[in-house]
Structure 1
Amino acid sequence: MNLHCKAAGIALALLIWFGGGVNQMAAQRPNVVVIYADDIGYGDFGCYGAKTISTPRIDELAANGLRFTSGYATSATCTPSRFSILTGDYSWRKPGRGIAPPNGAALIQPGVPTIASVLRDAGYRTAMIGKWHLGLGVPPKPDWSGEIKPGPLEVGFDECFIMPTTNDRVPCVYVRDHRIVGLDPTDPVDVFDTNPDGQATGVTDRDRLRVDWSHEHNDSVVNGIGRIGFMVGGNACRWTDEEMADTFVGEARKFLKQNHERPFFLFYSAHQAHVPRAPHPRFVGSTPHGPRGDAIAEFDWCVGQIVEELRANGQLDNTLILISSDNGPVLDDGYQDQAVELLGEHRPAGPYRGGKYSRFEGGTRVPWIVHWPARIKPGASDALISQVDVLASLATIAGTNIPKGAASDSLDLSATLTGESTQGREFVVEHSGMASALAIRQGDWKYIEPSPGPAVLGGKSAETANHRQDQLYNLADDAGERRNVARSHPAKVAELKSLLASVRASDPQLTSSGGDATGE
């Protein structure tokens, strides 16, 4: 055999060998299901210490998967966290990414890489089901009765069935892909900031409400509940709150059932336990904590329904399920539903201080469970990990790359996510979502930079961690952040303040995808 023939034979053998390896790797790529809870805190599940709220389906996934004890949302409010988990970029780097109003335009612009677009380009079928709240359309407001875009389909999702904003905001309709579901063209939908037609409101008809408001939620009344913003039209297609869980779960199960031949990515964005809490009657009274506790029990059922569908389709073993929450818990967030009065001994944030709207640990340290039987061994991990890292980590697990310049704050912690490494981030940045002030945790130390805002949000009784002085806590011996030791550790304050300044000043466009060992 001459050298050319021999070389050709070797090349062919290598091609077959590597080709087989590539095909085998592609065959082993997991399906991905992200189940994103809303306003559920670190201590709200049984596997994180809850005693009076039963979450058996979630606890089973935790027992057979990996449970993180230092998993973080990027912000303590929903829109900023959702932006960061999907894009791999911190929402606070640019203004205008706070809580999206009812008519808010799309915050993720077409062409911006997301988890969905990266996995879709790698051959995954992608779907968004549930709460969106990242804006839709272009200014001044979406064409609610026409084609509603840009939205999820313009940023990587092949299909979507969504609540446009939140369940306490109008419009109270579902959107499939680009259009309102079941809209009667003779009764078009529109949304306003002020009352356009003198309709009854939560103020004028307060005595007729099914759920009374405590603050703000008193504009248009839909399903006997006051909302934020004014909605006209769409009377035949407005949702019924108590049926929302069944509706979203039904859409999720249909998507899973229809996707057997190729890997899929489902972002299931739940509405529990966001206000107004109106769980299905079969869950009412399932906990001693009123509608909030019952909504968490309903969320556990939703998780179980998704797992049941995966198991029935033979997909569970090779599906990576990630369960987390967009921010920490809140009790009174605008409605009088006895969340405070019926709290009892339950601690929604576990041992941590604060919750939604807060830079204390309870605002962003949230449940974080990963279940993937084909690869993950049961256990627990205290590695630092942030939702901003999900994009880079899933890209690696799926065997694909992130476009250059995208997901600049996202670290590839795929080995951490799957329990193959105990090493996580060097530090985690925490953001309230309400202002530009930040906090940072590195090891056992937590620094909260000064902010002039209120220490407690009026009406919500929610701590913010705002203070005019530096705050420093050692979480190893003060998990509840009660003893500010900034004055006795000036060097540590200076160190963390400098680190936080470098994070804020860094240009994410100059950072390669996945960042480096410092998180930036």
Structure 2
Amino acid sequence: MMITILITLLSFFSLLNKETPTNTLESEKPNIILIFADDMAYGDLGSYGARGWETPHLDQLSADGLRFTQFYVPHAVCTASRAALLTGAYANRLGLYGALDHTADHGLNPEEITIAEMLKENGYQTGMVGKWHLGHHPEFLPTRQGFDSYFGLPYSNDMWPKHPESKNYYPPLPLIEGEKTIAYLDDQQELTSWYTYKSLEFIEKNQENPFFLYLAHSMPHVPLFVSDKFKGKSEQGLYGDVMMEIDWSVGEIRKKLKELGLSENTLIIFTSDNGPWLSYGGHAGLKAGLKEGKGTSWEGGIRVPAIFSWPGKIPAGQVQNQAAMTIDILPTLAKLTNSNLPKLKIDGSDIWPLIQGEEQELKPYYAYYNQNELQAVIYGKWKLVFPHVYRTIPADAEIRNDGIPVKYSYIRLENSQLFDLSKDMEESLDVSAQNPEIAAMLNRFAAEARADMGDALTKTEGSGNRKVGRQSQH
């Protein structure tokens, strides 16, 4: 069955490369392509200082648009990060935490409005390709949350029988099209290519209509796989090869847009769901001097690369140093497309001025982890981190490069610490004693967030949380 899928995709791809008439249809509504990498670190792109591999297409995307230097996810873990991205709300408000696996009986509540549902109501064709991770039962799949089409994995690509630490705990990994499992993966070598071809197919099919494509790559999350066309291409090794193939994917999408005459009416957003999974050593990305990685609320876990490109609408070659977060994408797209915002409360705000390189009034952003722990609050260059337990790589750990993780150790942060991120991206110097008024202000922001959404660390119940989606009982 896998061979059949590959042949079908390759056949279609050969058709896509044939001459296609240029689309001259003028549309007031921009096409939107949102590309979400998995576990890609802050330093993994050339424009952010990557070494050991090359990302020319993503570097060009950055040169043609704007890149953020202080862009965040609110949760440094798969499911929660994706829920926040697609709804514009903190995932703990929605009752979603951690990373759902095959045993989960819940998912994103169908009452929540995603970017896809918002845009579909406004006449957009919507498609998703890649990793979903917001519930694997039929009532939680993308096709029930505003997407006209879906091709991809319902959860992380390591949730399969070959997991290095949990062998045979997970069932075979399903590849889904629409709502039907079309294959079980025994190998993932062609996954990035399949995602790319399916994305090109969606663009080709919907070139005459405004469309929203959400491409959520399964990699560079472990286990790492790369097709033969990029195997051994980087100096670094397998991780670098995977990064180069993801970069190629972006290049193929941009090439297709140009071929169809859609480049100037398409906004491309590229970012990641969290930072690197450091316990995997050489199979993890480059934290670029930031502290810690995925699974923590330190900068290495929640600060991610973010590029916004739209020829003629976003000035080329811009760098934005002001803070923003993935929850801001939905309200920004609502403003750009004149779409209705969800009736349920969201937490993001329109950041179009920032994306155009301007300044905007500061707002607090919150970092949550575990079961609704408020671990940090960010306000511009300031970050206040609250007492909590976090994981780290032991100093004496032997870092591996074979896909087998080392064991974490755990540290308890005993007191709140304030950092000036403009001078201390490494979060090494607590400046709370020198800036008591700043610490007090961020503590007030945190108190407001606790009253609204609760906080397990302070045993606070929130008043603004909503119910998670539960599987129907039959």
TM-score by length of 1: 0.74
Deviation at residue 412 of structure 1 after TM alignment: 1.6
Alignment counterpart, residue 167 of structure 2, candidates 215, 218, 225: 218
Equivalent position of 1:208 in the other structure: none
Distance in 1 (alpha carbons) for counterparts of 2:112 and 2:95: 17
Are the structure 2 counterparts of residues 505 and 57 from structure 1 closer, same or farther at C-alpha, using a change threshold of 3 Å?
Answer: same
- Once structures 1 and 2 are overlaid, which stretch shifts more, 45-54 or 390-399? 45-54
Alpha-carbon distance in 2 for matches of 1:474, 1:108: 35
Residues 360 and 464, structure 1, Cα contact 8 Å, conserved in 2: no
Aligned to 1:392: 331
Identity, % of aligned positions: 32
Cα deviation 1:406-431 (Å, max 9, x = unaligned): 4x202122232343x32264222223
Deviations 1:259-286 (A, max 9, x none): 1221000000001200000111221222
Q: In the alignment, is the contact (CA less than 8 A) between 1:384 and 1:424 conserved in 2?
A: no
Task: Give yes or no for contact 2:224–2:283 (8 Å, CA) kept in 1.
Answer: no
Counterpart pick for 2:170 among 229, 238, 252? 229
2:149 aligned with 1:159, yes or no? yes
Confirm whether residue 250 of structure 1 aligns to residue 187 of structure 2: no
Q: Any conservation in 2 of the 1:432–1:464 contact (CA below 8 Å)?
A: no
Contact 2:390–2:411 (CA under 8 A) maintained in structure 1 = no
Q: Is the 8 A contact 1:34 1:267 kept in 2?
A: yes
Determine whether 1:123 maps to 2:69.
no
Which of 240, 254, 279 aligns to 1:307? It is 254
1:54 positional shift: 0.2
- For the structure 1 residues 447 and 279, does the alpha-carbon distance in structure 2 shift closer, same or farther, using more than 3 Å as the test? same
Alpha carbons of 1:467 and 1:124: their partners in 2 closer, same or farther (altered >3 Å)?
same
* Aligned with residue 478 of structure 1, among 409, 419, 424: 424
Alignment map for 1:46-445 (pairs within 5 Å):
46-137=46-137, 148-170=138-160, 213=164, 216-219=165-168, 229-231=170-172, 237-239=183-185, 240-333=187-280, 338-339=282-283, 348-378=286-316, 379-406=318-345, 408-419=346-357, 421-423=358-360, 425-433=362-370, 436-445=373-382
Contact 1:128–1:161 (CA<8 Å) still a contact in 2? Answer: yes
What is the aligned counterpart of 1:504 among 439, 450, 459?
Answer: 450
* Deviation at residue 489 of structure 1 after TM alignment: 4.1
For the residue of structure 2 that corresponds to 1:397, the secondary structure is helix
Compared with structure 1, are the counterparts of its residues 80 and 96 closer, same or farther at alpha carbon in structure 2 (3 Å cutoff)? closer
Aligned residue identity for 2:39: D
- What SS class does the counterpart of residue 481 from structure 1 fall into? coil
1:35 corresponds in structure 2 to 35
The CA deviation at 1:465 is: 7.4
Q: Aligned-pair distance for 1:400?
A: 1.5
SS across alignment from 2:189: helix
Q: Secondary structure at the match of 1:282?
A: coil
Secondary structure at 2:257 match in 1? helix
Distance 1:104 1:279, change over 3 A: same
Over aligned residue pairs, what C-alpha RMSD do you find?
Answer: 2.7
C-alpha distance in 2 between matches for 1:164 and 1:276: 16
Q: Which residue type is aligned with residue 367 of structure 1?
A: P
Describe the superposition over 1:70-120 as per-residue Cα deviations: whole angstroms up to 9, x where unpaired: 111121111111000101110123544221112324521223211000000
Query: In structure 2, how many angstroms separate the alpha carbons of the residues matched to 1:387 and 1:280?
Result: 30
Query: How many residues matched?
Result: 416
Contact 1:108–1:134, Cα closer than 8 Å, also in 2 = yes
CA distance in 1, matches of 2:202, 2:174: 30
2:153–2:174 Cα contact (<8 Å) kept: no
Q: Aligned equivalents of 1:107 and 1:307: distance in 2?
A: 33
Q: In the alignment, is the contact (CA less than 8 A) between 1:358 and 1:462 conserved in 2? A: no
Whole-angstrom distance in 1 between the partners of 2:190 and 2:125 = 27
Shift of 1:60: 0.4
Instruction: Look up the equivalent residue of 1:102 and give its one-letter code.
Output: H
State the Cα distance separating 1:258 from its structure 2 match: 0.4
Alpha-carbon separation, structure 2, partners of 1:355 and 1:63:
27
Deviation at residue 405 of structure 1 after TM alignment: 2.4
Q: Distance in 1 between matches of 2:349 and 2:288?
A: 27
Contact 1:56 1:300 in 2 (8 A): yes
Counterparts of 2:250 and 2:92 in 1: how far apart (Å)? 31
Q: Which residue of 2 aligns with 1:17?
A: none
Provide the C-alpha distance between the structure 2 equivalents of 1:465 and 1:472, rounded to a whole number of angstroms: 18
Structure 2 residue matching 1:260: 3-state secondary structure: coil
2:178 corresponding residue in structure 1: none
Letter in 1 for 2:283: A
Aligned-pair CA distance for 1:121: 0.3
Deviation at 1:37, TM superposition (A): 0.6
> Please, which of 440, 446, 453 is the counterpart of residue 494 of structure 1?
440
CA shift in 2, pair 1:496/1:233, >3 Å: closer
Decide whether the 8 Å contact of 2:278 with 2:393 is kept in 1.
no
2:97–2:369: 8 Å Cα contact kept in structure 1? no
Residue identity in the other structure for 1:479 = M
Distance in 1 (CA, whole Å) between partners of 2:223 and 2:57 is 24
Q: Secondary structure at the match of 2:152?
A: strand
CA distance in 2, matches of 1:233, 1:366: 28
* Equivalent position amino acid for 2:323 in 1: L
**Alpha-carbon distance in structure 2 between the residues aligned to 1:326 and 1:391:** 15
Q: Given that residues 58 and 251 in structure 2 are in contact (C-alpha distance below 8 angstroms), is that contact kept between their aligned partners in structure 1?
A: yes
